[in-house]
């Protein structure tokens, strides 16, 4: 009878552990069983072409980096980078911004691990965050460099920046201006003469995605914000 009771306790403990594991790994993001949208800051850093070499792909290259990191960390779903194209004065109502590319979630935005960043899209884009986007795709806290390429305002639109890391229209997506450093023949040295907007991964104020003065040369190696779609 005692042995039966011990086995029952062992099985109960195992069941509890399995349930905790399932909750922790629900949708692959490591926290919270209810529906939500995962966001992380990249563990890797990239230059103004996001490691794309001479190819001028802009935000598509950044999106690919986010997707690669998510898959390597066993996160399910599609991930895109919080990157907007360049706004050319007088270009008209072309869809340059994150707001034009992203699914605008009605669910909470949460870090890997479950910490809530914003209640929903409206809260995400109101100028402040509930918590900084300071955890990587594995749930680890970032170390060292905290700057993140964005060129995106708090309301998810593109900064109007005449010296942006962008030579013009994206050849892969008609009507979308690319973010990239220089012409197809660019070299890292060329990137010093073009600049890009960046945010701070440790911030919960508007500077999380950038300010009017957060501009620096495109040959720097910064991170990316990655959002589940």
Residues 94-106 have pLDDT tens digits of: 466 899 889 999 9
pLDDT tens-digit map of 181-223? 544 444 545 565 567 789 999 999 999 999 888 888 777 899 9
What confidence category does residue 134 fall into, taking pLDDT thresholds of 50, 70 and 90? very high
pLDDT digits over 1-40, tens only?
Answer: 455 666 677 677 677 766 655 554 444 444 446 899 999 9
- pLDDT given at position 58: 62
Over range 158-180, report the average pLDDT.
Answer: 54
Q: What pLDDT is attached to residue 61?
A: 81
Q: Say what the pLDDT of residue 19 is.
A: 61
Residue 116 confidence (pLDDT): 97
Residue bearing the bigger pLDDT, 20 or 113: 113
Question: 0.85 exceeded by the pTM?
Answer: no
Residue 15 confidence (pLDDT)? 74
Specify the range with the lowest mean pLDDT, choosing from 79-83, 88-92, 178-182, 191-195.
Answer: 88-92
- Mean pLDDT for 84-89 is 60
The answer to whether residue 159 scores a pLDDT higher than 90 is no
Predicted pLDDT at 59: 74
Using pLDDT thresholds of 50, 70 and 90, give the confidence band for residue 57: low
HEC-encoded secondary structure of the chain = CHHHHHHHHHHHHHHHHHHHHHHHCHHHCCCCCCCCEEEEECCCCECCCCCCCCCCCCHHHHHHHHHHHHHHCCCCCCEEECCCCCCCCCCCCCCCCHHHHCCCCCCCEEECCCCEEECCHHHHCCCCCCCCCCECCCCCECCCCCEEECCECCCCCECCCCCCCCCCECCCCCCCECCCCCCCCCCCCHHHHCEEEEEECCCCCHHHCCCCCCEEECCCCEECEEEEC
């Amino acid at each position: 009878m005692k042995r039966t009771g011990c086995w029952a306790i062992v099985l109960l403990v195992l069941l509890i552990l399995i349930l905790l594991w399932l909750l922790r790994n629900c949708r692959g993001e490591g926290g919270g069983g209810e529906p939500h949208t995962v966001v992380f800051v990249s563990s890797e850093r990239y230059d103004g072409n996001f490691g794309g070499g001479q190819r001028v792909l802009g935000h598509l290259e950044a999106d690919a980096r986010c997707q690669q990191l998510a898959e390597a960390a066993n996160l399910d779903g599609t991930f895109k980078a919080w990157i907007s194209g360049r706004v050319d004065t007088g270009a008209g109502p072309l869809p340059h911004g994150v707001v034009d590319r992203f699914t605008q979630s009605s669910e909470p935005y949460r870090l890997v691990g479950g910490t809530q960043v914003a209640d929903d899209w409206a809260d995400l884009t109101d100028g402040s965050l509930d918590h900084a986007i300071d955890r990587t795709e594995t749930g680890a806290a970032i170390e060292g460099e905290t700057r993140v390429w964005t060129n995106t305002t708090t309301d998810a639109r593109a900064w109007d920046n005449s010296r942006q890391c962008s030579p013009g229209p994206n050849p892969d997506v008609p009507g979308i201006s690319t973010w990239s450093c220089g012409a197809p023949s660019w070299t890292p040295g060329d990137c010093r003469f073009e600049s890009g907007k960046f945010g701070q991964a440790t911030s919960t104020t508007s500077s999380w995605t950038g300010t009017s003065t957060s501009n620096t040369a495109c040959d720097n190696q910064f991170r990316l914000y990655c959002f589940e779609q």
